[in-house]
Amino acid sequence: LARAYHEKVISHYESPRNVGSLPKNAPDVGTGLVGAPACGDVMKLQIRVNENGIISDVKFKTFGCGSAIASSSYMTERVKGLSLEEAGKIKNTEIAKELALPPVKLHCSMLAEDAIRSAIRDYQKKRGTLKNPKQSGYIDVSQSAATGETVATAHPGG
Ligand code: FES
């Protein structure tokens, strides 16, 4: 099975870049937490944004398959140094192509696209600059502080 995977996937899977967490409550940090309905895998991706609106740091934690881990690792390297607008335009198809993911693994790269958008939205929400809170289809997973329960909220896109 491993032979079906591109070496870039293996590389990102075996030595994922930027694994970890940023302080969720920091005013310059945006947190995206998303889940894939198809398999239940969950990805957390956090960005730190500097005073020029540039993503200066990125961290992720993915509870999911190798392709999801590779996709999030790739995404962290890809968005560092970008503006929020640039980062928000990255498509899962780019990741899938770059990592040569097979069709059954496309949703894994979708998770990375959803995660960066969710992180950007969270940051903008904190800053009060979120323009269109309901623009795209994704699922936010948030941890209920009170119960520790994981809550998934669907945001169907147009
Ligand atoms: Fe679901 Fe990869 S199998 S994220």
99 lines ligand 1 (CB under 6 A): no
CA pair distance 114, 77, nearest whole angstrom: 16
Which token pair is 67? Answer: 């392709």
41 lines ligand 1 (CB under 6 A): yes
Q: To test ligand 1's pocket by mutation, which of 108, 138, 139, 141 has the most ligand atoms within 8 angstroms of CB? A: 108
Q: What is the pLDDT of residue 131?
A: 78
What is the ipTM for the molecules in this complex? 0.97
| Residue 80 scores a pLDDT above 50 | yes
Residues 115-157 pLDDT 10s:
999 999 999 999 998 876 555 555 555 544 444 445 555 544 4
Q: To test ligand 1's pocket by mutation, which of 42, 43, 65, 75 has the most ligand atoms within 8 angstroms of CB? A: 65
Residue ranges of the domains in the chain? 2-155
CA pair distance 12, 30, nearest whole angstrom: 23
Please say whether the beta carbons of 55 and 112 come within 8 A.
no
Mean of the per-residue pLDDT values for the chain? 86
**Domain 2-155, CATH number (from 2.60.120.560, 3.30.470.20, 1.10.1740.10, 3.90.1010.10):** 3.90.1010.10
| Residue 77 scores a pLDDT above 60 | yes
